A and B are shown apart, each in its own frame.
Chain A
Amino acid sequence: MKLLLFLCPLLLAVASVSSRAADATAKFRATLVEAILSEDVDKQVELVNQLVDAEDELIARGLTAWRASELYVHSPASGAKAPFLLDVQPGVVGDSKGIRLFDGTPVLDPTGKPLTFNASSLTPVDNSSKLRKAIKTALDLFAIGNRDPHLRRDAVTKLGQARIAEYVPFFERRMKIETDKEVIRSLGEAVALTRATDADPKVRLGAISQLGELRSINSIDFLRELDTECKLNPAKYGEDTGRLVHSVVLQLENYIRWGTLVGTAFRGVSLSAVLLVAALGLAITFGLMGVINMAHGEVMAVGAYTAYAVQCLFGNGLLFSIFGYQVSLKGAGFSGGFFDVYFLVALVASFVTAALVGLGLERGIIRFLYKRPLESLLATWGVSLVLQQLFRHTFGAANVQVDAPGFLQGSLVVSDIAFAYNRIFIIGFAVFIVFGAWLLLTKTSLGLQIRAVMQNRAMASCLGVRTDRVNMMTFALGSGLAGVAGACMSQIANVGPSLGQSYIVDCFMIVVLGGVGNLVGTVSASAGVGVTNQVLEPWLGAVLGKITVLVAIILFLQWRPSGLFVTRSRSLDG
């Protein structure tokens, strides 16, 4: 009994504390609901600012959803409007329950059953950039405690840039429990940045030299300003600070220069990879077979459209028209990881489709023109026009959207240099297909036959090689490679009827520069052109840079008309 008497006030106290916390949470939630339903942007911003201290999962979710346009309002026939977000379960396709922001309970219909919604049929609550900024600040302060270290780091960096002394205790508190190295670095940077103009010279000098040690690129603008300020007004912070700031600025500028150099090199390699992927198919059809294939670009577009079709079949379905007849195919409705697989399927499918188109082209037209290169030029050009018009009629004149799969979005950041995943993928892919083409040409019997036929058709034929069949296979291979290139390009450029035209000139340029008739030349030419282009672009601009590269190529071809690597073969000489 005594114990109970003793416990009673304790329990009451606990209850009152928790109910007070619940009160506070309820108040914050009410504020959020008010903000969402308000029509006035300034008021919304003000209300969102009040939410900064709310330590509530639901509010964080609500704000995140609002910012991403995934927040909706339920307006029942009777009763107040209730903002809600969708309780989407990962991996589950279909409708989901709505969660009311006011108290976290599901949205019910008048009979008391939970309602389900589909995001595509709802209108999200409006937001504007001003509001999103306010939401972001609130989330930033939330986000110091976020589970995702990337978000944590972004939040800290952003708060550090604001240089508000009140934040420092939060940073230091976090630093003690933080485990992620990057976040610790950002926290250090934020603290140092805030203290770089501290009244105490010791703290100041320590902070500035720490910024140098951390190689804090984010603070370069601030340090430059500080440097000028110290020069103009040496008395303000003292000579020591001035000297230190200047040396740190120099140190950081040096670091940035290295970063730029590596960045340029990466961009050069990535452009080279793009050119290589695009030109490899042509290197086979034009380079090895000697067919001036003006439809190469359109075969690339076949690949790109195949990627689009595969994407639609994995997603919401495909609608197109063939000669005026509407065809509608139902999609699988995948999302998330399953959907992302579409791209790998698309790569294979685009190879097959384009190879089949190439096969048809070779059988139907080109095989009659092997001895007449100029006529093959005109014929394939005609084919390219027909294909372009076909794309227009089938998929419409406007460009179509090929979404990037999740794993190709964003970038990998190493020492402040961003390497975009789609670029990394294309570099890897270029290496892969060049290696594949090399293996095929040098290590397989088909490759042996291809090389034999290209070098001396008559002799190969005498020795029992079915040259007709080899021609067909080679052209199909080249076209297939063009198709894969198209699927790859869908990740970085437009997919439209004129996709091919934007690449055809570059492709011929690469193959001719590399020297007709071998792959090594194509690889080196694309590497040369890509890197030169990227090195020149920051100095000369995109237009003049491209002109300079073209002039350089023309001059080079004057000096060596057969390109970088000369292959001697009777068929080519003949």
Chain B
Amino acid sequence: MKLNLKSLFTGIAATAIVWSASAAETVKVGVLHSLSGTMAISETSLKDVLLFTFDEINKSGGVMGKMIEPVVVDPASNWPLFAEKAEELLVKDKVSVVFGCWTSVSRKSVLPKFEQHNGLLFYPVQYEGEELSKNIFYTAEAVNQQAIPAVAYMLAEGKKKFYLVGSDYVYPRTTNKILKKYLQMKGIPESDIIEIYTPFGHTDYQTIVAQIKKFAGGGNACVISTLNGDTNVPFFKEFANAGLTSENCPVVSFSISEDEFRGLPAKQLAGHLGCWTYFMSVKTPENDKFVGDFMSWIKDPKVTGTSYKVSGVDPKGRVTCSPMNLSRMGVHLWKQAVEKAGSFDVDKVRVALIGQKFKGPVAEVTMQENHHLINNVFIGETLPTGQFKVIKTFKDVAAEPFSDMFLK
């Protein structure tokens, strides 16, 4: 039975790549994002933007004259399956590079496979740092490109009490550990920092909100939220019902981008803050082009139709967000590095990637020696329309994955 299932999956993957059989010379590229299960809501958008970017590059001549041929697999929000699928991509399909993973736990589970088979992975989602693999390039925001600037901003706004609430897994816990150290360094006493975690899918935020209300009585408190996904709905509903607003107690959320916003009650979130290296609302000609191109690509009947590589691209109410932008920039950085190295060989590309610059929609980024980017950081206030209004910009922040480097 198991064997049958496996061949079924490969069958699906095979039909997925039939479209490109006519192309003369191609280079295989892996896409490792969950298309089913809990993470599908977030990760499907990344699959879409990757396919868009491949088309964008293929239209302008491909990578060193070769067309990109995506191999899309579905690890189904299942962490061990991520490792299996990664191995399959590297060993069976022999892809030159893989773009993928969202949660830190999925990245941790594929990391040994990439090191074992000397693969190349681009990771696009904000994460907790404290990791550096020679086989992974992190276009993602490190803690000092998201959490630290956001908290620094709250300190500058005169906030003196911090309530750290998060989902119970590695990213919130590590981030909050770093933030706590940072806050103490800035002279906030231990008693004015509260750290709380809730399980995935938690729906009862009564106690936590009552606690926040008591905590925020003096008017100088704020909430730093690393709550994931749809647990934000009951949290913000309870928050608004208790009479708390962005004026008497603002919430800074690290896991809510424009894309997550689509499933959240925008009215109750309005006025609260977000911090990312990209907002859809940033007005630059490059960003207008990116958003415009993506929107027309996704509405193309050829793309939404079943004949496309992976069907099921949903054109309704789409937005662009930071992880999507970082995914796309990763592809472009890889393309440039391949062309500089003159080869698809992982060891050569890895060297060529360092110092690679790309003019993205909202900033020119540079890949540093520590496999992370130099990028602009924006703090934005959420609007009832589901967009962010930029209220503060930090220029050219160099990502630093290890917290002891910036907590000196």
Contact = CB atoms under 8 A, between A and B. Distances in A.
Interface of A: 69, 126, 128-130, 132-133, 136, 161, 217-218, 220-221, 256, 263-264, 267, 270-271, 274, 396-401, 403-404, 409-411, 413, 418, 420-423, 491-494, 496, 498, 502, 533-534, 537-538, 541-543, 546
B301 interface: no
A492 B203 contact: yes
Nearest to B389: A126
A128 B207 contact: no
Nearest to B267: A403
Contact of A133 (B204, B247, B316): B247
Nearest to A266: B206
Contacts of A399: 230, 233, 263-264
A129 B265 contact: no
A270 B164 CA distance: 25
Contact of A411 (B217, B234, B241): B241
B243 A411 contact: yes
Given A398-B262, A496-B263, A542-B198, A128 B391 contact: yes
A161 B316 contact: no
Interface string B242-286: 110011001000000000001111000011010000000000000
B217 A218 contact: yes
B233 A494 contact: yes
A538 B314 CA distance: 42
B383 A69 contact: yes
A546 B243 contact: no
Contact of A397 (B40, B198, B201, B204): B40
Select the residue from A126, A274, A543 with max chain B CB neighbours within 10 A: A543
A132 B247 contact: yes
17 contacts: A69-B383, A126-B389, A129-B246, A132-B246, A161-B219, A256-B214, A271-B204, A396-B314, A400-B263, A418-B243, A491-B237, A492-B237, A494-B233, A498-B38, A534-B207, A542-B197, A542-B202
B168 A543 contact: yes
Nearest to A492: B234
A493 B234 contact: yes
Contact of A494 (B218, B230, B316, B383): B230
A272 to B, nearest CB: 11
A267 B44 CA distance: 37
A456 to B, nearest CB: 40
A69 B384 contact: yes
B247 A494 contact: no
A207 to B, nearest CB: 19
Contacts of B263: 398-401, 494, 496
B384 A136 contact: no
Best-buried of B206, B214, B314 by chain A (most CB within 10 Å): B206
A417 to B, nearest CB: 9
B211 interface: yes
A398 B41 contact: yes
Contacts of A411: 241-243
A398 B230 CA distance: 9
Contacts of A397: 40-41, 44, 314
A543 B291 CA distance: 40
B185 interface: no
B188 to A, nearest CB: 16
B65 interface: no
B234 to A, nearest CB: 5
Given A401-B265, A420-B242, A493-B233, A543 B217 contact: no
Given A128-B381, A401-B265, A267 B219 contact: no
B13 interface: no
B314 to A, nearest CB: 7
Contacts of A403: 265
Interface string B375-389: 000000101100001
Nearest to A270: B206
B381 A543 contact: no
Nearest to A417: B210
A132 B271 contact: yes
A397 B405 CA distance: 41
Contacts of A218: 217
Contact of A271 (B206, B243, B264): B206
A149 to B, nearest CB: 15
A318 to B, nearest CB: 14
B208 interface: yes
Q: Which one of A129, A274, A413 has the highest number of Cβ atoms from chain B below 10 Å of its Cβ? A: A129
A413 B242 CA distance: 10
A400 B247 CA distance: 27
B18 interface: no
A541 B196 contact: yes
Interface string B180-224: 000000000000000011110111101110110110011100000
B316 to A, nearest CB: 7
A151 to B, nearest CB: 12
Nearest to B219: A161
B87 interface: no
Contacts of B128: none
Contacts of A542: 196-199, 202, 204, 207-208
A217 B247 contact: no
B197 A420 contact: no
B199 A546 contact: yes
A133 B219 CA distance: 12
B238 interface: yes
Contact of B271 (A129, A161, A494, A541): A129
Nearest to B211: A538
Nearest to A264: B207
A410 B241 contact: yes
B201 A418 contact: no
A421 B241 contact: yes
Nearest to B271: A129
A422 B238 CA distance: 9
Given A69-B384, A396-B314, A534 B41 contact: no
The 6 closest A-B pairs by CB, nearest first: A399-B263, A542-B198, A398-B263, A420-B241, A267-B206, A493-B203
A494 B199 contact: no
Interface string B11-49: 000000000000000000000000000101100100000
B319 to A, nearest CB: 12
Contacts of A491: 237
Contacts of B213: 418
Contacts of A396: 314, 316
Contacts of B211: 538
A413 B240 CA distance: 14
A401 B262 CA distance: 9
Contacts of B246: 129, 132
Interface in B151-197: 168, 196-197
A544 to B, nearest CB: 9
Nearest to B168: A543
User: Which residue among A220, A493, A496 has the maximum number of chain B CB atoms within 10 Å of its CB?
Assistant: A493
Contacts of B44: 397
Contacts of B203: 492-494, 502
Nearest to B260: A398
